[in-house]
Amino acid sequence: MRLERRFFARDTLQVARDLLGRRLVRVMEGRRLAGRIVEVEAYVGEEDEASHASPGMTERNTSMYGPPGHAYVYLIYGMHTCFNVVTGQTGFPAAVLVRALEPADGLEAMRERRGGRPDEQLTSGPGRLCEALGIDLRFDGVDLCAPEASLFLEVGDPVHDERVANGPRINVRGDETAVNVPWRFYVEKNRYVSR
DNA sequence: GAATCGATGGTCT
DNA sequence: GACCATCGATTCT
């Protein structure tokens, strides 16, 4: 069962929290690579100084202004890509960065893609999970809810409140608000959460 | 373990 | 020309 567009069209903080436990799935050369989402961060509006939308619309961040349920993928530090899900209403720039997965299906393929690293390091970080699932810049702007999508989200097993922790976002710049708002959500004590 | 540092390229001023 | 929503290796305590 896939997550439908209306799931993503809600308040971004709600979507971020509810994304925990869902499965991110990549179909690649007939193989299914999937992981359970265990860590995310929300980026909300142009007022959020940590968001790429803070300077207003640019060529890079255009996807953030587009319809919910699409991907926003960008290159960071010249060598890693990061995957986000666009949330909220079309025209309002907001997205949830997926920071870590617990590997579920296609472990062998992920190990190959990740150079044989230990399983704990396959998908425990935004750049790592993109490498493990083969998510690159070509996915920027694609519709994750399209029937033919090779990258999509499944309902999975939602995480109960007691298992959800939150805190400030990792490695963000900006004013005091941007640095301190507890918009990072993760599954408590999960081995695959980053850092 | 914790802290530090280099790699590497697209985007924006 | 500066700045990164990172990773992995190296260099410390």
**In contact, A63 and A141? CB cutoff 8 Å:** yes
Q: CB within 7 A of strand B: which residues qualify?
A: A 55, 58-61, 75-79
Separation of CA A81 and C1' C12 in angstroms?
A: 30
Q: Which of A135, A16, A13, A158 is nearest to A71 (CA)?
A: A135
Chain B bases near protein Cβ (<7 Å): 7-13
Separation of CA A161 and C1' B11 in angstroms?
A: 39
Q: Which protein residue has its CA closest to C1' of B13?
A: A55
Whole-model pTM over 0.85: yes
In this predicted model, what pLDDT tens digit does every residue of A31-85 receive, in sequence order? 999 999 999 999 999 999 999 999 999 999 999 999 999 999 999 999 999 999 9
Separation of CA A121 and C1' C9 in angstroms?
A: 15
